[in-house]
Amino acid sequence: MTMKQAFSCTAAVTALSLSAAVAFSQTMESSWPYATRQAPSQRPTSDFLQPELPVTSWNPFRFAVAVEGQTRWPQNDAAKRLAGTRSPTSGGVTAQAEILRPTNRAAARVDLGWTTYSVLNPQEGASSAMSNERLKTNVITLGLSARYAVFPWLSPYLRLAGGIGWDKLEVGEGSGAMHDRQIFGQGSAGAGIMVRSPGLRFWQSATAPFVGLLAQVEGGYTVASGSDFALQSSPSGSAQGTIPTMTVALGHIDRSAPYVRFMAGVAF
């Protein structure tokens, strides 16, 4: 072998060795655990620090539960005396539900309410002895209202309602007390306004309801059936042996009167 051929062979072996070394170093660099790698993209710090705030909405409420008060102004003198005041005020609870929404602003609702009124009137008897006169009235009503949202927070409405009530009257104390019970029907027509707050979602969920506050003020007139109160010594179903007595007629009571109704509650 000549010198030239030997030199060519040596150069070829050297080139092959260098190629193998470069390939090996690239393989080791990609597999070495401490090799330099491209850092992943960092999320902005605001994504971690920003709190999940509640969401508000002016979407219509479908249901509501509220406390209710109602003040009446009886026109009948006997009704005023029996109530013990010229403007008796009753209190109770009511529940509402939306049943129809033809447009985003207009809606129809039904409401079911219960109110109660109780009064204790001390009366001066003919013998100058004091006797107590107690009256308790309960009324259950079912109403239908049509409302229109002038603004998201303000809705005037018209309302018709009907219901049934019962009075319990007791005069005197103990075994000598005299009693009477009367059942009556009533209907009313009125108009009012409703104001509301925006709905608030308290937790982050697609199914979480919006909860808000609402208040209503309504004025109108109630037409109710009258009653003829007649006191007797004991209520029906009393024990045997009671001395029979005559009933004492108190006269006719007319319950029709103008009213103002007000309520406040939670809607969702």
Domain boundaries, the chain: 76-267
Residue 227's pLDDT is what?
85
Q: So what's the pLDDT on residue 183?
A: 95
Model-level pTM? 0.72
Whether residue 34 is predicted with pLDDT greater than 50 in this model: the reply is no
pLDDT in tens, 71-98: 999 988 888 888 888 899 999 999 999 9
Give residue 75's identity as a one-letter amino acid code. Answer: Q
The mean pLDDT value for 137-149 works out to 97
Q: 21 versus 126: which is more confidently predicted?
A: 21
Q: What is the CA radius of gyration of the chain?
A: 41
pLDDT at 44: 57
Q: What CA–CA distance (Å, rounded) separates 259 from 266?
A: 23
Q: How confident is the model at residue 129 (pLDDT cuts 50, 70, 90)?
A: very low
More confident residue, 165 or 203: 165
Q: Over range 131-153, report the average pLDDT.
A: 93
pLDDT beyond 80 at 3: no
Amino acid at 190: G
Q: What angle do CA 241, 246, 247 make, to 5 degrees?
A: 115
The model's pLDDT over 221-249, given as tens digits with 9 standing for 90+, comes to: 999 998 888 888 765 545 555 555 667 77
Exposure pattern of 10-35 as b/e (b: 16+ CB <10 Å)? Answer: eeeeeeeeeeeeeeeeeeeeeeeeee
Q: For residue 126, is pLDDT > 50? A: no
Least confident of 165-169, 173-177, 250-254: 173-177
Cβ-based neighbours of 136, under 8 Å, separated by 6 or more: 116, 117, 118, 167, 168
